[in-house]
Amino acid sequence: MILVTGGTGGLGGAIVETLAAEGARVAFTYVREEARAREIETAIPGARAYALDLRDPRAPGELVGRVEGDLGAIDGLVNNAGLRSDGLLAFTSDEEWERAVDVNLGGVFRCCRAVVPGMVGRRRGAIVNVASLSALLGLAGQTAYAASKAAVLGLTRSLAREVGSRGIRVNAVAPGFVATAMTGELPEDVVRSLRQRECLADGVTAASVAATVAFLLSDGAAGITGQCVVVDAGVSA
């Protein structure tokens, strides 16, 4: 059984759909979009929605208990939930900085902490953390976001070393620009700038990122851990 955080967005929804299509039972989380979550439950057999506030330190642990009670042991975790934080560093408030770090990094930390003990006991499991190309290349106006996502990569590598001997793999994906509701508010000139270095004409789709996530969770990736797979249509080539 696989737990996906942030399952109602464009990328999260694609991940849920892809995993369910491959036969997995999927629990996914939402914050405010309950109506959308129920639509996904109806449309995707094997998917079940749960509310989760990543800023509540106790919530991930309580969620894992509910999910495993309902659906069985969690063998896979996808830390997809997060928020975009835009603004130049000089104009970023302490509150904006702390919120980005708490959700994007703290949420990953708390969800990993909630599932790892069970995975260690069963001596199996796979975790995929969704980072961002911004963590590797940097992007003006996304200092807080990029810093929080870069920290996720450090967490990924260190946790992979902590739990590898127990049969647990921990990896990350770093998507480039993906057209979703989160990026839909960006001006056209910004989108053109983000995509100008892509080698592939079709760019990056949510489905292509979801397929990478599914692979990293699968037995096909049995020899891969502590890595960041970049899905950016060649921007970083």
Q: CA nearest 173: which of 215, 201, 202?
A: 215
**Is the dihedral angle over the CA atoms 183, 186, 192, 196 positive or is it negative?**
negative
The pLDDT, as a whole number, for residue 133 is: 93
| Token code pair at residue 51 | 């509310």
The pLDDT, as a whole number, for residue 225 is: 98
Spot the catalytic one: 30, 50, 109, 145: 145
What is each CA distance from 196 to 5, 132, 139, in whole angstroms?
A: 30, 17, 14
The pLDDT, as a whole number, for residue 190 is: 66
145 is catalytic: yes
Q: Could you state, in chain order, the average pLDDT of each consecutive group of 10 residues for the chain (237 residues)? A: 96 97 97 95 95 96 97 98 90 95 97 98 98 90 94 98 98 91 64 82 94 98 98 93
Class of domain 2-231 (CATH, top level): alpha beta
The SS3 call for residue 34 is helix
The pLDDT, as a whole number, for residue 181 is: 63
Q: CA nearest 179: which of 9, 54, 55?
A: 9
The pLDDT, as a whole number, for residue 104 is: 97
**Domain residue extents for the chain:** 2-231
Each as own residue / partner, the long-range contacts of residues 33-38 (CB below 8 Å, 24 or more positions apart, any chain) are 33/8, 36/8, 37/7, 37/8
The pLDDT, as a whole number, for residue 100 is: 95
The pLDDT, as a whole number, for residue 187 is: 65
